Structure 1
Amino acid sequence: MATIEECRAALDQLSENLARADSGVRGAAALDRSLSCHITDLDRTFTGRLDGGRIRVDALAPGPPAAKADIRLAMSGDDLVALVAGELRFAKAWASGRVKLEAGVRDLLRLKSLL
């Protein structure tokens, strides 16, 4: 089972990957939205913002998200680490229910190029 430190490192790596991505991916991620990522097996939630094509983590709290973020993710720590490492494809994980993504329709349409 991935640790909370490994999950935080994966989110930091994802932010770096987005910042270095080609212009199409960077453009899709260039939103200014609140973000939460609930690590289900550890029952912890990272909260922050997707801002300028980067993920900024502001807090870590126990349990599910206390407030509804614009973009909400939920998955196990192992799945987060595997997604960022390229060992798990997002579309397959999402279709099978291993990863949950909730957002407004416009945000989902913009984020689809990241998937």
Structure 2
Amino acid sequence: MATVDECRQALRDLAARLDGNADTVREHVGLDRTLACRITDLDAAFHGRLTDGQLTDLADGDDPKAKISLSTTSEDLLALVRGELDITRAVTSRRISIKANPFDLLKLRKLLGTS
């Protein structure tokens, strides 16, 4: 099991990687949504905003009104961010749960697939 600090750092790493790809992704992924990431085995949560191909305003705590909600274990979050876990396979195998409208799911898949 990873720690809350490792999960926080993984999300920061993801934000940095998305920031590096923002110009490429921006024209293909028009996504501006609030995001909540819930770490089920740590009883922890983070929230931020996905906009223009970037993850911004990352902070500790849940956002129950977030338009996109991702729930997973700490280890699966780290594996996803490191590129060791395919988002589509993780969702179909129920290792990751994502609640969002269908169009946002497609855009999120593109965004995470590019990172």
The 3 A distance-change label for structure 1 pair 30 and 18 is: farther
**Quick check: 2:80–2:87 contact (8 Å CA) kept in 1?**
yes
> Quick one: distance in 2 between partners of 1:39 and 1:27?
31
TM-score normalised according to structure 1 size? 0.83
TM-score normalised according to structure 2 size? 0.83
> Quick one: distance in 1 between partners of 2:53 and 2:14?
10
Unpaired runs of at least 5, structure 2: none
Q: Where in structure 1 do 4 or more consecutive aligned residues deviate above 4 Å?
A: none
Unpaired runs of at least 5, structure 1: none
Between the aligned residues of both structures, percent identity stands at 45
The 3 A distance-change label for structure 1 pair 59 and 17 is: closer
The 3 A distance-change label for structure 1 pair 6 and 66 is: same
**Quick check: 1:29–1:54 contact (8 Å CA) kept in 2?**
no
The number of residue pairs the alignment matches comes to: 111
Structure 1 residue 106: Cα displacement: 2.3
> Quick one: distance in 2 between partners of 1:8 and 1:30?
25
> Quick one: distance in 1 between partners of 2:101 and 2:83?
26
